[in-house]
Structure 1
Amino acid sequence: MAPGGVWPSRGEGSGGLPGQALRFPAGFSLVAAVVTPGVAPASPAGPDVWVSTDHDEIEKVAKQFGAQVHRRSPEVSQDSSTSLEAIREFLNHHHEVDIVGNIQATSPCLHPSDLIKVADLIQKEGFDSVFSVVRRHQFRWSEVKKGGSMTEPQNLNPAKRYRRQDWPGELYENGSFYFAKRHLIEKGYLQGGKMAYYEMRAEHSVDIDIDIDWPIAEQRVLSFGYFGKEPLKEVKLLVCSIDGCLTNGRIYVTEDRKEMVSYDYRDLVGIDLLKKRGIQVRLISERDCSKTLSAMQLGCVAKVSATNKLQVLEDWQKDMGLSWKEVAYLGNEESDVECLKKAGMSGVPADACTVAQKAAGYICKSNGGCGAVREFAEHIFLLLEKRCVLCACVCEKMGFISLFLSCQSQPGVSVEG
């Protein structure tokens, strides 16, 4: 039995939140956040991880994070198109797939362990379809239409209200994923046959539907998200570009032709915190700003007038005997792109140039010279606290299930899920 996996999501044409598949919850592309858990259990035997899209940038990000891409046809990229239609089109091109896991692109807190357990329900316990739910403790009341009578309780007795700890609550679909066998999907169902639900933890059940969901999603991803199957190594070195990261990139010239720059005290505190954690901080600039650095009294090794930042970074990495996973880099310009790609942990300020943002793993909320260094330092600390992740045996347990993410960019289309 050959299973496959597909992610349905859409691009800039999303009616609800335009371009949300490429937005960054907690600094990570939404597509990347939902593809990564599916890729983690993959082995040479499977599962297959697919993104179905008609959007070039989503295709690029999906491939970057290890997924395969199915180009979505115009027929299933309309305003009225559904995830089911996209999945059925996918199956028409992949006759080897017997099971599909439809993972919603707007649920970024999914973990590989969830997918493994769901695969067992289908492959070992014989269920035809499995969908995700979350337990909620919410009392429901009937809706009263205009001119209607009074409301009525749906799941409680007002004369004897439960305490939360005395009530098991109810199960609700959380929209994270729907697994189904081919024969059900061909009949037009994602739920049917011998059905089972999979209860996800409340902290992993976040669904991005409207704009106010983003702050919640960001906090959940940082606190409970999955960041890859390789354990993070302790960062030993942070290299920070001076102009545009430590400073805001502006140069003030006085009447006597002296240059002045400004910096944020919070960034100096961030550098101090990094040093206290045993992380060496070094600075780099294409300009000759040695006088500025002397005035700031940061106590950091610095390289100014650097014509090749990557060469400087490689020299420092080799001199300190570090692997790239032990190096973090904060940059903001095109000259930083190769360094951002090399470093095990990379970030840019919110106002960094577009190419630098695309190369970085984390995009700060703060602009350069306005707290970005402190924010990136805190991001490093948070990720290092998450170093204990799934053991390597996760790769062998899922079998061969295709996981499917569908992304389209037609105007006026809402992201499903």
Structure 2
Amino acid sequence: MAEGGNWGHLSALVLARGGSKGIPLKNIKELAGRPLIGWVLRAAVDCGGFDSVWVSTDNDEIAAVALQFGAKVHHRCPEVSKDTTSSLETIQEFLISHPEVDIVGNIQATSPCLHPDTLKRVIEMIRKDGYDSVFSVVRHHLFRWSDVKRTGEETKPENFNPARRPRRQDWSGELYENGSFYFATKELIRQGKLQGGKVAYYEMNPEHSVDIDIDIDWPIAEQRVKRYGYYGKGDPKVVKLLVCNLDGCLTDGRVYVNQNHELMSYSLRDLDGIQMLQRKHVEVRFLSERKISAALLDTLKLPCRVETKVSNKRSLVERWMAELGLSSWEQVAYMGCGYSDVECLKLAGTGGVPADACVEAKMTDNFVCKCNGGGGAIQEFAEHIEQSKESRKRKFGNEKQP
């Protein structure tokens, strides 16, 4: 160990037991198009500061996902795979099998908004500043009251004076552990501690402080990770494919019918938006649940591929992704308006809905156009895609995107 710092073997360790009472196989359930554990593993691998990255698990499916995201697998023993086993006991068991490890960065699998920059700073605190343990906290501005156990007992304020309630801007708030990570030396862990010695906290940004425990946490986490999650080096969240629901996005959702013909209309502004993206080398395709005649499709004169009578939109989009050599939904933009579009809107790296989309589609926390379907919404979404691309160029530079 060098003076003023800890320079031993530093391992990232993610504990991922197969059994979960709240959500079965929670650790590899898809969150915004990626297995939950994949979000933290990518951050740990890409931060570049760990000597090794491990997943401790008792489940073969979780082990396979861990390997896929660049981690090594520690197959934990049954004695530390029980509901009653503590994280500390599981880490101690890991260290027995891996004596080369001197410092453990225990990262919570259910903290999907963790970023490499956060981990880099914590590693500096361990390596250069000489801390023996560092843990994550988040700041809350919450007024606490005493817990009342008996009927008639009076509750009392614990951290403020009700007669002088502070304004948020006049109060620094309080720090709470959020469980995202605990770094500690092997010596502390052997003593049964994750916090001790020269100890410090790392305050995470509130938007990055996300935890998933039960089902109702999932949709909130999904919205947060799509906005604040880490998508990888060079930001692979660059659009290569735009898929739109023809009915209600390109059109206004209405069909005009007479005795012999079925008619639809769309805005030429949307056609301009499609062609603008195509000039930027974005593949544009449409799908529809309805059976639309080839004659009607010919009259629309759309400059892109259209597939109709689609019963499984996700399956079709993933087939198109495979055709185009796209490895991730993060490279897909999806525009939908109905209930059957919700799954794809949640998976897509960039999503959009017309102003008159159904409530559930809007609640996927994607870009909501000012225009209605059939009235310029696709052009508006296309401009949003291009503006986002220019913004990412300014952020990441002009490096070649994967």
- TM-score (normalizing by structure 2): 0.70
Q: Aligned residue pairs: how many?
A: 343
Partner in structure 1 of residue 45 of structure 2: 39
Q: Unaligned stretches of 5+ in structure 2? A: 1-7, 251-259, 308-312, 368-377, 398-402
- TM-superposed CA distance for 1:119, in Å, is 0.7
Question: SS of 1:40's equivalent?
Answer: helix
1:230-245 to 2 correspondence within 5 Å? 230-232=234-236, 235=239, 237-238=240-241
1:79-94 to 2 correspondence within 5 Å? 79-94=83-98
Partner in structure 1 of residue 128 of structure 2: 124
The question of whether the paired residues in 2 share the 8 Å contact of 1:229 and 1:389 is answered with no
CA distance in 1, matches of 2:88, 2:305: 55
Amino acid of the structure 1 residue aligned with 2:170: D
Give the CA RMSD over aligned residues.
Answer: 4.5
Question: SS of 1:105's equivalent?
Answer: coil
CA distance in 1, matches of 2:132, 2:91: 16
Residue number among 168, 186, 194 corresponding to 1:164 in the alignment? 168
Question: SS of 1:332's equivalent?
Answer: helix
Residue number among 59, 66, 76 corresponding to 2:63 in the alignment? 59
Which digits, 9 at most, give the CA deviation of each residue in 1:102-154, with x for residues without a partner?
11011111111111111111111111100000111111000101335200110
The question of whether the paired residues in 1 share the 8 Å contact of 2:241 and 2:332 is answered with no
Partner in structure 1 of residue 303 of structure 2: 300
CA distance in 2, matches of 1:303, 1:218: 29
1:150-299 to 2 correspondence within 5 Å? 150-232=154-236, 235=239, 237-238=240-241, 273=273, 275-277=275-277, 279=280, 280-283=282-285, 290-291=294-295, 293-295=297-299, 297=300, 299=302
The question of whether the paired residues in 2 share the 8 Å contact of 1:330 and 1:347 is answered with no
Question: SS of 2:160's equivalent?
Answer: coil
Partner in structure 2 of residue 133 of structure 1: 137
Partner in structure 2 of residue 7 of structure 1: 14
CA distance in 2, matches of 1:271, 1:19: 44
- TM-superposed CA distance for 1:96, in Å, is 1.1
Q: Unaligned stretches of 5+ in structure 1? A: 248-257, 305-328, 392-417
Partner in structure 2 of residue 409 of structure 1: none
Amino acid of the structure 1 residue aligned with 2:323: C
Question: SS of 2:175's equivalent?
Answer: strand
Which digits, 9 at most, give the CA deviation of each residue in 1:384-410, with x for residues without a partner?
45566679xxxxxxxxxxxxxxxxxxx
Partner in structure 1 of residue 72 of structure 2: 68
- TM-superposed CA distance for 1:14, in Å, is 1.0
- Which is bigger in relative contact order (C-alpha 8 A, separation at least 6)? 1
- TM-score (normalizing by structure 1): 0.67
- TM-superposed CA distance for 1:362, in Å, is 5.9
CA distance in 2, matches of 1:331, 1:347: 15
Percent identity (aligned) = 45
- TM-superposed CA distance for 1:173, in Å, is 0.5
Partner in structure 2 of residue 105 of structure 1: 109
Residue number among 15, 23, 27 corresponding to 2:29 in the alignment? 23
1:252-401 to 2 correspondence within 5 Å? 273=273, 275-277=275-277, 279=280, 280-283=282-285, 290-291=294-295, 293-295=297-299, 297=300, 299-302=302-305, 332=316, 335-336=319-320, 338-339=322-323, 342-343=326-327, 345-346=331-332, 381=385, 384=389, 385-386=391-392
CA distance in 1, matches of 2:270, 2:52: 42
CA distance in 1, matches of 2:264, 2:194: 55
Q: Provide closer, same or farther for how the CA distance between residues 387 and 302 of structure 1 changes in structure 2, counting only shifts above 3 A.
A: same
Amino acid of the structure 2 residue aligned with 1:189: K
